A and B are shown apart, each in its own frame.
Chain A
Amino acid sequence: AQSVAQPEDQVNVAEGNPLTVKCTYSVSGNPYLFWYVQYPNRGLQFLLKYITGDNLVKGSYGFEAEFNKSQTSFHLKKPSALVSDSALYFCALRPNAGKSTFGDGTTLTVKP
């Protein structure tokens, strides 16, 4: 069975500070991992993905994530947060030809 955990319901950071949104996973086989962002009353927007290759993945809007196989983690990071980054973030796991498993989501609030 596959699973994704986002241990924090809420992350609060000050504008300009670095941010981290945590994600851990469990899967047998190759972990295809994704981060999505959702703004109020909108669908999900793709941020970045890890399929294979470099463990550090760079994505949209200055976000990046590091795949750590030994810790089974795929934390989302950004060096300097913006107020406009405030949104709901989802980590997702999608094995071969399969359906995605989403984490419960983490609400990021960036305060000015």
Chain B
Amino acid sequence: GAVVSQHPSRVICKSGTSVKIECRSLDFQATTMFWYRQFPKKSLMLMATSNEGSKATYEQGVEKDKFLINHASLTLSTLTVTSAHPEDSSFYICSAAPGLGWLGEQYFGPGTRLTVT
């Protein structure tokens, strides 16, 4: 099956610093990638949708200047949390879909646990 990786799996950073999370589709080309945030025992909150080569579409209430998303290639998207604060601590999950209009399942990465101290 399709595999999506995320790196790092865990990261601890100090308040005020920036953190970059990578999401890669390993065996397929992902035209569309999604970034989610998940709080403990809670559902996934979609943060943004990114299409390769274009600007990400952010959900209402998500600060685009704080959560920078780049989808520079068909196999890589990055999420950068800028000037991180403790309230940004969360589990971040990416997912990928092979193409525009893809009706099938999304392929999820294993997630990245971010802790801001």
Contacts and interface: CB of A to CB of B under 8 A. Distances in A.
Interface residues of A, number: 23
Contacts, number: 58
A90 B44 contact: yes
B34 to A, nearest CB: 7
Interface residues of B, number: 26
Nearest to B111: A43
A44 B108 contact: yes
B110 A105 contact: no
A45 B95 CA distance: 11
A97 B100 contact: yes
A43 B34 CA distance: 13
Interface in B15-42: 34, 41-42
B14 to A, nearest CB: 22
B111 A42 contact: yes
Contact of B105 (A46, A88, A107): A46
Interface of A: 32, 34, 36, 41-46, 49, 51, 88, 90, 94, 96-97, 99-100, 102-105, 107
Interface of B: 1, 4, 6, 34, 41-44, 46, 49, 91, 93, 95, 100-111, 113
